[in-house]
Structure 1
Amino acid sequence: MIEIKLYKRPLKALKIFALTTPFVATGIWMINKEPVGTTNYIMGWFSTCFFGLGIPVGLFQLLDRRPQVIINENGIWDRTTKQDVIKWEQIESAYPLDIYKQKFVCLVLDETFEMKKNLYKWAAKLNEGIGAQKVNLMVSQLKIDEHKMTKFINEIVKTEKQNRQTIIKKYFDH
């Protein structure tokens, strides 16, 4: 059985480092330059501590080698959705969604799919308001285009189980 594993882009971690490092450096400079107790000294500590949190977050993003999405002939699993494997038979269709440059693939699921954990009412209303579904795959941090992923999902859900490996090979050739 073919199994495709999609991982996070390391570029996101590098962006976090690039955005936080100047603020941490400026904060350290302010701590060393300003007299103790002044507003600039306190702001230096605040800047260093607050933006310094980006360093462990960036390291985690960079060193996290767990697959984000696993695709096989039985279904698709996304670590961020906190759901079990979503079987291809349960997916009716998929469509892309862009929310402030964050790319998602929204899955329209049939009634046989049971949510492992239901959304809060406010989250369900928010999803409805922005045009999302109960289950949405975040693909902006993956090494795949959201339109390619949408086309793949819409094609594989219409394919018989014995032909799914061919579709997977077509879109994810090794």
Structure 2
Amino acid sequence: MSILFFGAGIPLFLWQLLDARPRLVIDDQGVFDRTLGVGVIPWSEITGAYVRSVNSADFICLELRDPTPWLQRLSPIKRAMVSANEAMGFTALNLNLSGVAADVQQVHELIVKMAASRQGIENQKQGER
């Protein structure tokens, strides 16, 4: 059983290792984490973020305006893990920074600043209407 389980994981591990595409992209559009599988999360949906670490693995927990549409995009396995993540103090969607060559505090600050900036712009637009 172990040979089957871990043996099946070897091609996936090799694919992740050899895949040259960026795993995490933070730009003017929003946040894209290839491992989440939900696409780009726009800044207008992100209301905040905080850092959590487990066994020296760093995560940025995204606080979303409404996580429901994003959770529906998750695979059934990832959807089942959401409640376990939330029980451990995580949010529904988390950015795993293991293997990403970036400082977790800098990434966190960038996400918080960009989300706040975009919310300010959205509030101004609504005030003008």
Question: Is the shorter-chain TM-score for this pair beyond 0.5, marking a shared fold?
Answer: yes
| Equivalent residues of 1:140, 1:146 under 8 A apart | no
| Equivalent residues of 1:76, 1:86 under 8 A apart | yes
TM-score under structure 1 length normalisation: 0.55
| Equivalent residues of 1:77, 1:85 under 8 A apart | yes
* Letter paired with 1:125: S
Structure 1 unaligned regions, length at least 5: 1-46, 164-174
Deviations 1:3-26 (A, max 9, x none): xxxxxxxxxxxxxxxxxxxxxxxx
Aligned residue pair count = 114
Deviation at 1:102?
A: 1.2
Q: CA RMSD in A?
A: 3.1
Please list, as runs of the form range in 1=range in 2, the aligned pairs for 1:32-43 lying within 5 A after superposition. Answer: none
Q: Check if 1:146 corresponds to 2:101.
A: no
Deviation at 1:145?
A: 1.3
Structure 1 residues 112 and 134, CA, compared in 2 at 3 Å: closer, same or farther?
Answer: closer
Moved over 6 A (4+): 50-55
- Counterpart selection for 1:134 from 87, 92, 107: 92
Sequence identity percentage: 32
- Counterpart selection for 1:90 from 27, 45, 49: 45
| Equivalent residues of 2:24, 2:31 under 8 A apart | yes
Structure with the greater alpha carbon radius of gyration: 1
Give the distance between the partners of 1:130 and 1:110, measured in 2 at CA: 20
